[in-house]
Structure 1
Amino acid sequence: MVAHSNNRPSRRALAALALDRRRMLALGGLAAGAGALGACGSNTGRGSSDGVNLYQWYHQYGEAGTKEAAEKYAAAYEDATVSINWVPGDYDTTLSSGLLAENPGDYPDVFESHLNRSMVDSGQIVPLDDLFDGVLDDFTDIDVKRNSIDGKIYGIQMIDDPQFLYYRPSLLADAGVAEPATFDDLAAAAAELTTSDVKGLFLGNDDSATKLFQPIVFSAGQTLLTDDFQIGFDKDTVIAGALQVKALHESGSLLIGAPTEAWDPSSIIQGLCAIQWCGLWALPQIIDTYGDDIAVMPFPGFAGGAQTVYNGGWSTFVNAKSEHVDEAKAFAKWLWIDNEEYIQDWCLSYGFHIPPRKSMAANADALAEGPAATAVQISQDYGWGDDPNWTPTMETAVDDMMTHIVLEGADPSAEFDTAAQTIQTELDSIFG
């Protein structure tokens, strides 16, 4: 199951969700409005004698069987009638509108999203700490942090989606290229693997300019924001990394203008590139094409830094506006914390994701060997996740900085200073 619709969100778009919002859209359009939203719902829960109705919202996943699975889970819940709203198109915008709706049924009681501080400051969601009693240690630190604001947990991780580089070992062996461990190694390998028909590397159609800022930061052992809400990265680190990216951009080794974005494995499957950045969700498709001739690796380190793996995914939240908050929390716990059968089914039956419960991931046979096992291991060894205090304004500032440096040749020092000032102004406005 791909953790997105047929247009995988970019980092900026996923960073844009429910404050206006967020991270990694162009999912096209269900306009707000009770009639339109209700048309996508399915009343599939059996319901309880007290007549509690809950509305659960999902964005439209791309894999066959996902909608039916969500409806199956809802139908199995006996303590409320759970209606599924399967939202095609621009989920971010539709969700933002739905969270402002006033009438039950027009807004979700339970919904999937990505946490940001705006959701908490505006009172859109409720804390879920009590749901984690006895099981908190079974969730990764990354997932707890990405779903927490000011020491309270607001989201339950539904799926973990590490992103890394796919490559065909046979192509590297034929070219005499070893698996790259550093960014310079990666650039050299991409150049060596580029032919008249195949580009060495595909990182995305934005030419990698915006995608690589956060790997630069985390490779250096730094972070976006410190625990006391200060900028967590330094100028020298970012400029050195940005200039490495600029050199790669100018090398002619990158695939640009691919038919689909990097969330879709079509480019490596069709032989348009030798190495592609994508996510674990794509592994079954790639294996169907190449069999044993596929491997995964973390993103190489920048300027002497460590390798990195971005761990993405989706979480479920409870709407503070719900007329049945306690019942909505009970349903969310039943489905996304307690129900091992359905969690495993959701993560591994329709695509490929890591179950967020560490015990469940360790017992998943599908993740026990081959590239899947490597993906799990490198996500644990090199993984980092989203910071819910990192706002869309901050992301836009660094995206613009990288674009101006990498694609337009702007002065790196001036661009960094501009981005840092925007981020600091944003921090001051939020935290004082």
Structure 2
Amino acid sequence: MTISRRTLLGAGAGLGAGMLSACGSNTGRGSGGSGGVRLAQWYHQYGEPGTEQAVERYAAAYGKAHVTVQWRPGNYDQQTAAALLTDSGPDVFEVNGPSLDQIQGGQVEDLTALLDGVRDDFNPAVLAPKTYRGKVYGIPQTIDMQMLYYRRSMLRDAGVRAPRTLDELVAAARTLTSSKVKGLFLGNDGGAGVLGGTPLYAAGLSLVTDDGKAGFDDPAAARTLGKLHRLYADKSLLLGAPADWSDPSALLQGLTAMQWSGLWALPQVQKELGDDFGVLPFPADGPAGRPAVPVGAYGAAVSARSRHKEAAKEYVKWLWVERTDDQEDFALGYGFHIPARISLARRAGKLKSGAAADAVRFATEHGHAQPLLWTPAAQAAYQDALSRIIKDGASPEGELRGVVRKVSAELERVRHTS
């Protein structure tokens, strides 16, 4: 697989001047036309077979404009960031964002009106990072999410129940660890890369508060992150697996009893393990804790430099608001994802039972996405500290004090950016 939707749940790529050469372009032509209007639509390169043909088919069905689909390999975020500064970029484009800089810089159009009457039907966790000062700048397409997989038989044989709290997870991982099997796999780095802010949300905190401040300036944050080091120190974590956390092979091969991975892995896990697995959100920690599920969504946006902004908005509304059958097809026809619309997620046949239904419930009830105000600089500071806490046993209190200072300064900076 080259690039897949799961990449949006990792750290964002750096933005800057980048590659502008058109790569892998394909065209879908509408049969009608509003005065011959032509729209260029960009997608990042999906690794799931059939996705490219599907988006070409959607574009070809649109009768009010000629829509040209460009399938763009490489560093897509960098490509779009550079293209938005020129007159040769796309009219409509898929984006893991838009970013705060793009919104504040006036590079993307306000799409709030497109959601009139249906805004409440979009999963609020993924709509929030595409919203700035009450205005929506991207229409979520599909949701990806992460969760904890576990082997039922391994837990049953060890007399361990599926963990509902972080303390239970730490204890279960220790009990399940033997000379041949590790209790838990959070990635080959011990979880520093993939977990991000999820443990903070599990403690009842957040990365950024509703009023734009660091959301983890609280003793509970240090207590929770310290427990992640306990997993590492207990040697309960699988490290050095043949494939990293996004691939379920460690669980399937019996290298670990529990593994953190994504919804995309569910069909493979179900095929190979049958009923011998279950799924859980990241478990709650502390008296104010709550289960936590990281979610993310690529969205459709409109460039402010488009010569056909209103036509582009009309097309986005047609495809990502009105065409619910296409939205369900895009989510579940080529890979395994959750439609961004709550009503579609509830009605989709593939998501109505078993672990898939559990995943939809987790994402709806416990989902959290990386906040719009959480900038790359804030992410880097937090990520570095988390790695030192987990792997090196650095003081959680000391590390978090430094991160709070850096993040607070960064949030102050973006609040004063015009």
Q: What is the TM-score with the length of structure 1 in the denominator?
A: 0.90
Structure 1, residues 143-181: CA drift from partner, whole Å, max 9, x if none?
A: 331210011011111011221101121221122110001
What is the identity, as a one-letter code, of the residue corresponding to 1:80?
A: A
- Could you tell me which of 201, 205, 213 is aligned with 2:184? 201
Residue 398 to residue 20, structure 1, CA distance change in 2 (3 Å): farther
Aligned to 2:335: 351
Secondary structure of the corresponding residue to residue 144 of structure 2: strand
Aligned to 2:372: 388
Residue 88 to residue 194, structure 1, CA distance change in 2 (3 Å): farther
Aligned to 1:75: 60
1:402 to 2:400 alignment: no
Secondary structure of the corresponding residue to residue 267 of structure 1: helix
What is the identity, as a one-letter code, of the residue corresponding to 1:116?
A: S
Secondary structure of the corresponding residue to residue 285 of structure 1: helix
Q: Cα offset for 1:264?
A: 2.2
Q: Cα offset for 1:8?
A: 4.4
Aligned to 1:33: 20
Whole-Å Cα distance in 2 between the matches of residues 108 and 195 of structure 1?
56
Q: Cα offset for 1:121?
A: 0.9
Structure 1, residues 43-74: CA drift from partner, whole Å, max 9, x if none?
A: 12226252222121112212111111111111
Aligned to 1:422: 406
Whole-Å Cα distance in 2 between the matches of residues 312 and 270 of structure 1?
28
Aligned to 2:354: 370
1:311 to 2:270 alignment: no
Is this contact kept in 2: 1:44–1:72, CA < 8 A? yes
Q: Cα offset for 1:213?
A: 4.5
Aligned to 2:102: 119
1:102 to 2:87 alignment: yes
Single out whichever of 391-400 and 379-388 deviates more from structure 2.
379-388
Secondary structure of the corresponding residue to residue 170 of structure 2: helix
Matching of residues 227-306 of structure 1 within 5 Å: 227-304=210-287, 305-306=289-290
Structure 1, residues 332-372: CA drift from partner, whole Å, max 9, x if none?
A: 11111110110110111111111111211121111111111
Aligned to 1:326: 310
Single out whichever of 182-191 and 331-340 deviates more from structure 2.
182-191
- Could you tell me which of 48, 53, 60 is aligned with 1:63? 48
What is the identity, as a one-letter code, of the residue corresponding to 1:222?
A: L
Single out whichever of 269-278 and 171-180 deviates more from structure 2.
269-278
Is this contact kept in 1: 2:263–2:359, CA < 8 A? yes
Structure 1, residues 50-101: CA drift from partner, whole Å, max 9, x if none?
A: 2222121112212111111111111111111212221223222222222233
Structure 1, residues 228-287: CA drift from partner, whole Å, max 9, x if none?
A: 212222231221112111111112121222233322223223333221111212211111
Structure 1, residues 282-329: CA drift from partner, whole Å, max 9, x if none?
A: 211111111222211111122442221112221111111111111111
Residue 208 to residue 10, structure 1, CA distance change in 2 (3 Å): farther
Q: What is the TM-score with the length of structure 2 in the denominator?
A: 0.93
Single out whichever of 197-206 and 241-250 deviates more from structure 2.
197-206
Residue 232 to residue 418, structure 1, CA distance change in 2 (3 Å): same
Q: Cα offset for 1:184?
A: 1.8
What is the identity, as a one-letter code, of the residue corresponding to 1:94?
A: Q
What is the identity, as a one-letter code, of the residue corresponding to 1:72?
A: R
Whole-Å Cα distance in 2 between the matches of residues 417 and 273 of structure 1?
34
Unaligned runs of 5+ in 1: 22-30
Whole-Å Cα distance in 1 between the matches of residues 392 and 9 of structure 2?
21
1:129 to 2:93 alignment: no
Whole-Å Cα distance in 2 between the matches of residues 130 and 193 of structure 1?
52
Q: Cα offset for 1:11?
A: 5.2
Is this contact kept in 1: 2:142–2:340, CA < 8 A? yes
Alpha-carbon RMSD: 2.2
Aligned residues: 414
Aligned to 1:24: none
Is this contact kept in 1: 2:373–2:414, CA < 8 A? no
1:162 to 2:145 alignment: yes
